[in-house]
A and B are shown apart, each in its own frame.
Chain A
Amino acid sequence: MNVTVEYAAQVKRATGISRETVELVNGETLKDLIPMLTERHGDEFHALLMEESGKLQPSILLFIGDEQVDWDESRKLTDRDVVTFLSPISGG
């Protein structure tokens, strides 16, 4: 099955892409997906996304479709889900 992963702001800059398709087997959660992405996109992306403790940075907003979700919730991803990572931005 495939899920689409979208990136915004600084995480988009770190990956160099705005979206990609990721092939999963079945039954993966967000917590399973994130290490696959950090391995794919390298150190800058990993540092933006993850704390040293191994938890997701609390300022990264995660969505499945249009619903905000927690990174460690047990919900399993399903075929054609769209997962979005938003990093914080500001005015100026």
Chain B
Amino acid sequence: MPLGIPLTDEERAVYEWQIWVPGFGEAGQERLKSASVLVSRCGGLGSVVAYELAAAGVGKMVIAHAGNVKPSDLNRQLLMTHDWLGKPRVESAKRRLNDLNPRLEIVTVPENINESNAAEIVEQVDLIVDCAPLFNERYCMNREAVRQRKPLVECAMYDLEAQLTTIVPGQTPCLACLYPDDPPAWKREFPVFGAVSGTVGCLGAMEALKLLGEFGEPLTGELLTMDLRDMTFRTRKLRRNQDCHVCGSL
């Protein structure tokens, strides 16, 4: 994880309230300033992850997401706005994030993560937050996270439910330990509310902040499940697959 960059007086003023958090402090804020994160994609989940990380003072963010803003994005993709319909999502995200935090360095990639771009994109960051809907994309990020030994926060949602876990290669199960093959029944489009993606997005951002700021206890090797229909939250232990074709050799 990053060593930290000294804060300016302006940054001390902006981040004062979180610098008061025990275990975090100015040293934690300096680590966030020097940290870089990939958020893939910036949809319902990724918008909220990116917004919270920008607000918290992460130094650099790489945002990967193909395509233009559509009407059906606007119930949950909080970095997209009505006036940006038909224009690239990553540009809308960059504009909104820099309105909030003009100090944030943003690299926009108008593509989804795939076999050919994953290695190069992951090389640019310290940590990955996976907010992608398709397992092929998620497997690409997982493979690179494992190969480059970088932590990966996995966020997922469906209906009023959500799941979250943090992968640390070699220490925890990786995505392929849990789901070895592309789940045949999973569909690209599914029912969900923006309040559900927002909930798990905030929690995913918190996981990233704990790892980068080196405080708290990340959700490593555990799966947090939430059902917002009856507000049931549970944490369950996950197992590594010793024969995993991605991380089994670590």
Query: Which A residues form the contact surface with B (CB < 8 A)?
Result: 8-10, 12-13, 18, 47-48, 57-59, 61, 63, 66-68, 84, 86-92
Which residues of B are in contact with A by a Cβ distance under 8 Å? Answer: 41, 43-46, 130-135, 138, 155-159, 161-163, 178-181, 183-186, 188-190, 192, 197, 223, 225, 227, 229-230, 234-239
Nearest Cβ in chain B — how far from A43, in angstroms?
13
| A-B contacts besides A58-B180, A89-B162, 16 pairs, CB < 8 Å | A8-B161, A9-B159, A48-B185, A58-B181, A59-B183, A66-B234, A67-B237, A86-B163, A88-B135, A88-B183, A88-B186, A89-B161, A90-B134, A91-B45, A91-B156, A92-B197
Q: Look across to chain B and name the residue whose beta carbon is closest to the beta carbon of A58.
A: B180
Complex: A13 Cα to B159 Cα, angstroms: 9
Q: Find out whether the CB atom of B44 lies under 8 angstroms from the CB atom of A91.
A: yes
Please give the distance in Å from B189's CB to the nearest CB on chain A: 8
Instruction: Kindly identify which residue among A13, A66, A87 contacts B183, using a CB–CB cutoff of 8 Å.
Output: A87
Instruction: Tell me the complex Cα distance, A84–B234, Å.
Output: 11
Given A66-B235, A90-B186, A59 and B181 contact (CB-CB distance below 8 Å): yes
- CB neighbours (8 Å) of B223 from chain A are 61, 86
Q: Which of B179, B227, B234, B237 contacts A18 (CB 8 A)?
A: B227
Is there an interface contact between A92 and B190, defined as CB atoms closer than 8 Å? yes
Evaluate whether A90 and B156 lie within 8 angstroms (CB atoms) in the complex, with A48-B185, A67-B237, A68-B236 already known.
yes
Interface of B is mostly: mixed
| Residues A91 and B163 in contact, CB atoms below 8 Å apart | no
Dominant SS among interface residues on chain A = mixed
Q: Is the CB of B45 within 8 A of A92?
A: yes
Q: A92 to B192, Cβ gap below 8 A?
A: yes
Bound form: Cα–Cα A10–B184 in Å = 12
- The CA of A10 and the CA of B44, in the complex, are separated in Å by 19
Closest 4 CB pairs of A and B: A92-B133, A91-B131, A59-B183, A89-B158
Q: Is the CB of A67 within 8 A of B236?
A: yes
**Which residue of chain A has its CB nearest to the CB of B186?**
A88
Report whether A92 and B183 are in contact in the complex, using a CB–CB cutoff of 8 Å: no
**A59 touching B132, Cβ below 8 Å:** no
Chain B residues near A8 (CB, 8 Å)? 161, 225, 227
Q: Which residues of B contact A10 (CB under 8 A)?
A: 158, 185-186
